[in-house]
Amino acid sequence: MQPKDVLKWGPVKWLRDLKSVHPSGGGAVGVAFAWTRPVPSKEKPSTADFVIKPIQGTAAPTKFAEKVLSKIANAKSPNSEGIKRMSAEGEALVTRLREFAAQPGPHKDRWGEVLGHYENAGTFLIMETQSGVKEFGDEYREQYGLRSMLRDQKLMKNLGLLCAADALIGNGDRFDNINTGNIMFTADGQLASIDSTAVLVSFQGMLNDVHKLSWGPLDPNQPLKPSDWLRLITRQVGNQVPSAHQQQTYDPLGKPPALAPGFVMDSLTDLDELWRRFRNHIEGGMKGASKRRVDSGLPPIVPPRPQEWDQGRAAFMVGLNEGLVRIDQMLSGWNWLKFKSTWSNTAKQYGADPNMDWTNLKVRRLFLRMLAKGKSSKEIYETIDKYVKKKGKKW
């Protein structure tokens, strides 16, 4: 089912024809898989008629992310379209989601975590279901699932490409702040950009963040400096700027809003450590899944052999390094002019957003291009520090 067709639904059709909705298991918010027929709780997401993603702010960061991932990581775009939360159709959708969330079953706890994000969304993105899509986070918890994925050279190479693309758009909710539930792929190893967004936080957006939720480890009692903003791009994890609604409804004593983490560029200066963190995360999740299997009377998960880990790592690194080359080419010469046009057209069509900052993107561009050319960390940071000091004089 095409998103453009779902956009034609009126409130009555939303209430009548939306028969099943299952939330994804990964990420602070994730997405929801929707069917126009009743399906069992274990139904594969790939059979969904369409996908729903709640977002705050404008659709620009998501649409921009889809375009970059398609270009760099060969990821299939979900052709997303937007429905305003406060429209009659949006109200009808939320009514149905509340009904699904109240039902007993394996999704009830997850609905308890994410329903509020749908209720308080600014926009719902309706996205096309990718045929045969699997979640990496689900598959590695299956018997022989991880071993099969590590041997899949195309998939592992594409994951490396995806990691490079995420660094450019600032999306840390996959490889930096590791979340394998946000890695979706098909049986032939192609990636799907179902749950992606740009986290290109602006300096002004951070200044306007009343509760300083985007500041991460920065001292909220100290004035924000350009060097602080830069540190959250290169060396420490910050968060996307909350929407106006998230700031207005924020309760310091309640549950904080779900804000996507940024991608820390320094992670790319030690690729061995980046892979170690990714592997350790997977092994920890696999051990937990294996224990649950044993507790249920099933055999434990057979872990990958050392050579399978080596195969997966090698293909991942090939993809990551190729991704850096692709980014360098995309952001150079005439291609750079095309890229700037894509940026401006996206912002013009979907609206300005504090998480779509041009200077943030240019810092990442500078970092990645110097990294691809073999420059040392010292050279990279000296150049970037100089660039931000110059830009910061105007802030």
pLDDT in tens, 33-74: 999 999 998 888 889 999 999 988 788 999 999 999 999 999
How is the beta sheet containing 184-185 ordered, strand by strand? 134-135, 184-185, 191-192
pLDDT score, position 174: 95
**In this prediction, what percent of the chain has a pLDDT beyond 90?**
80
Query: What does the block give as tokens for 212?
Result: 């300083």
Residue in the block written with tokens 């007993």: 104
Bridge partners, residue 135, by sequence:
184
Pairing of strands 134-135, 123-128: unpaired
pLDDT in tens, 114-128: 999 999 888 899 999
| pTM of the full structure | 0.86
Task: Evaluate if residue 7 carries a pLDDT over 70.
Answer: yes
pLDDT in tens, 169-186: 999 999 999 999 899 999
* Domains in the chain: ranges and CATH: 3-130 (3.30.1010.10), 134-198+263-393 (1.10.1070)
Query: What does the block give as tokens for 4?
Result: 């453009």
pLDDT in tens, 275-293: 999 999 999 999 999 999 9
Q: How far is CA 213 from its chain centroid?
A: 18
pLDDT in tens, 298-314: 999 999 999 999 999 99
Which pairs count as long-range contacts for 47-50, CB under 8 Å and 24+ apart, including other chains? 47/129, 48/22, 48/129, 49/1, 49/129, 50/1, 50/3, 50/6, 50/126, 50/127, 50/128, 50/129
Task: Evaluate if residue 112 carries a pLDDT over 90.
Answer: yes
Task: Evaluate if residue 204 carries a pLDDT over 80.
Answer: yes
Task: Evaluate if residue 131 carries a pLDDT over 80.
Answer: no
Task: Evaluate if residue 233 carries a pLDDT over 90.
Answer: yes
The model's confidence at residue 27, banded by pLDDT at 50, 70 and 90, is: low
pLDDT in tens, 321-336: 999 999 999 999 999 9
